[in-house]
């Protein structure tokens, strides 16, 4: 058995070993033998652990130390050729003090986990979500089976989008009820992260986090989420948009607060971002419609220094005639960090007083919101 430890930059070098607990994972998958291997990856304190062991007569075994219960991934490499993203046979699970057993007649992805309270609780949530996931797959299949003409039809795609949004709301409802019913478990914190997604709504997730037990809040994951919520609170609907300064395409400094007195769409994008480029025609159309009605746009690019020319070319090609800024630091863009941007395109609509009044307005949603503001059709 081999273990590889990767230290996280800036992490504390020592943990309180007295608080650590031992876990054991016993697994059986088919009748695999060498060169088949099993991999287990998980967090232990400030470290990421990647543990690997040979599989003999279908059996394998892991043991390790934990500061607290944590999520993990078990991967089975059937032919011993290493971890390959294209055909990973993997299952997510929870590790906690004690012994858990993973058994399957053929693969990790079809395994049954027993001997673990956390995994039993998690499975109960997964079972509730399965019907929704099946319906979501059916919506995707409906689009895939459509003719090219149907896929280009706004009526057809809007109908599918409405179906998917309804399922998303139903899924969120299930997750919220689960969290409220299980405040004492780390599974609920992970469910909350899933519910919030890449762009969590503070007003939606903060009350749910508050409902969790102190035990969960005081875990390392809980403390990290609380810190994130503190930053997210400054970006909630009704909050004053945090100010920043970045250079435009000519190197001149531009401040967000320079636009006070106007409705401003703060738009995060990049030349390399396919969804951003596909969304740009909608943004251009809306800008041209409302630019004479006290509305403008400030775009922040997440391009890097080497992508400066690509950024400039994309601005010209897509017809983005409003103010464009960037520090060319890719995902480390200071404004993107300030606004907790983890995916793009992402935007914030700011009123003349500098208050955030809407987020993530895409497609026709931005034009509809502005039409409501300005009293136009």
Share of the chain above pLDDT 90, in %: 82
Mean pLDDT of 299-311: 97
Listed residue (195, 158, 159) closest to 178, CA to CA: 195
Span 259-268, pLDDT tens digits: 999 999 999 9
Question: What is the average per-residue pLDDT within 137-164?
Answer: 93
pTM above 0.95, yes or no: no
* Residue 13 zone, left/alpha/beta (φ > 0; ψ -120 to 50; rest): alpha
Between CA 113 and CA 290 the distance in angstroms is 56
Contact by Cβ (8 Å): 297, 287: yes
CB 324 within 8 A of CB 301: yes
Residue 354 has pLDDT above 50, yes or no: yes
C-alpha span between 304 and 280 (Å, rounded): 20
- pLDDT at site 85: 64
pLDDT digits (tens, 9 = 90+) for 22-46: 999 999 998 889 899 999 999 887 7
Q: Are 236 and 202 in contact (CB under 8 A)?
A: yes
Half-sphere exposure of 266 (CA within 13 A, CB side): 32
- Per residue in 73-118, pLDDT tens? 999 999 888 877 656 799 999 999 999 999 999 999 899 999 999 9
Cβ 78 vs Cβ 67: under 8 Å: no
In the numeric block, the tokens 């409501």 are attached to 372
Phi-psi region of 115 (alpha: psi -120 to 50; beta: other; left: phi over 0): left
Which H, E and C letters describe 139-152, residue by residue?
HHHHHHHCCHHHHC
* Residue 278 burial by Cβ neighbours in a 10 Å radius (0-12, 13-18, 19+): exposed
Evaluate if residue 338 carries a pLDDT over 90: yes
Mean pLDDT of 200-208: 93
pLDDT number for residue 12 = 35
Counting other chains too, the contacts that 302-308 makes at CB distance below 8 Å and 24 or more residues apart are 302/268, 302/269, 302/270, 302/273, 302/326, 302/330, 302/331, 302/333, 302/336, 302/341, 302/344, 303/270, 303/271, 303/272, 303/328, 303/330, 304/328, 304/329, 304/330, 305/329, 307/270, 307/271, 307/272
pLDDT (tens digit per residue) in 4-18? 333 333 333 333 334
Pairwise pLDDT comparison (83 vs 169), residue with the higher score: 169
Q: What is the pLDDT of residue 19?
A: 61
Assign 326 a pLDDT band (cuts: 50, 70, 90).
very high
CATH number of the 245-374 domain: 3.40.30.10
Domain 2-115: CATH superfamily is Immunoglobulins (2.60.40.10)
Residue with structure tokens 């400039």? 312
Pick 360 or 198 by higher pLDDT: 360
CA distance readout (Å), 137 to 129, 180, 193, 296: 12, 27, 22, 39
Percent of the chain with pLDDT over 70: 94
CA 45 to CA 15: how far, in whole Å? 7
Report pLDDT for 15: 36
10 Å Cβ neighbour count for 260?
Answer: 15
Mean pLDDT across 341-353: 96
DSSP letters of 308-349?
A: HHHHHHHHHHHT--SEEE---BGGG-HHHHHTT--SSSEEEE
* Paired residues of 331 in beta bridges: none
Outline which parts of the chain fall under CATH 2.60.40.10: 2-115
Strands 59-66 and 98-104: unpaired
pLDDT tens-place string over residues 280-295 = 999 999 999 999 999 9
- pLDDT at residue 154, rounded to an integer: 84
Rounded CA separation 335/242 (Å): 9
CB–CB of 363/282 below 8 Å?
Answer: yes
pLDDT of residue 82: 80
């Amino acid at each position: 058995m081999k273990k590889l430890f990767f230290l996280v930059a800036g992490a504390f070098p020592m943990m309180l070993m007295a608080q650590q607990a031992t876990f054991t994972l016993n697994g059986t998958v088919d009748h695999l033998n060498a060169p088949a291997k099993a991999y287990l990856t998980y967090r232990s304190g400030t470290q990421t652990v990647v543990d690997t062991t040979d599989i003999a007569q279908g059996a394998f075994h892991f043991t390790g130390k934990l500061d607290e219960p944590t999520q993990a991934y078990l991967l089975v490499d059937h032919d011993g050729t290493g971890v390959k993203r294209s055909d990973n046979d993997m299952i997510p699970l929870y590790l906690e003090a004690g012994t858990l057993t993973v058994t399957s007649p053929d693969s990790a992805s079809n395994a049954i986990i027993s001997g673990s309270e956390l995994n039993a609780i998690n499975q109960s949530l997964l079972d509730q979500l399965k019907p929704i996931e099946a319906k979501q797959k059916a919506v995707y299949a409906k689009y895939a089976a459509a003719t090219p003409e149907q896929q280009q039809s706004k009526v057809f795609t809007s109908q599918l989008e409405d179906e998917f949004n309804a399922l998303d709301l139903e899924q969120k409802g299930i997750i919220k009820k689960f969290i409220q019913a299980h405040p004492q478990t780390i599974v609920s914190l992970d469910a909350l992260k899933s519910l919030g997604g890449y762009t969590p709504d503070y007003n939606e997730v903060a009350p749910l986090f508050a409902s969790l037990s102190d035990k969960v809040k005081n875990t390392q994951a809980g403390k990290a989420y609380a810190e994130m919520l503190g930053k997210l609170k400054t970006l909630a609907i009704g909050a004053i948009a945090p100010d920043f300064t970045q250079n435009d395409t000519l190197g001149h400094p531009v401040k967000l607060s320079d636009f006070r007195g106007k409705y401003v769409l703060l738009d995060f994008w990049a030349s390399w971002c396919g969804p951003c480029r596909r969304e740009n025609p909608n943004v251009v159309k809306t800008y041209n419609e409302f630019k004479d009605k006290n509305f403008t746009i400030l775009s922040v690019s997440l391009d890097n220094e080497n992508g400066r020319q690509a950024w400039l070319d994309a601005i010209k090609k897509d017809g983005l005639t409003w103010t464009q800024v960037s520090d060319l630091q890719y995902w480390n863009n200071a404004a993107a960090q300030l606004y907790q941007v983890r995916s793009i395109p992402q935007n914030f609509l700011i009123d003349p007083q500098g208050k955030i009044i809407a987020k993530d307005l895409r497609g026709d949603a931005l034009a509809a919101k502005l039409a409501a503001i300005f009293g136009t059709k």
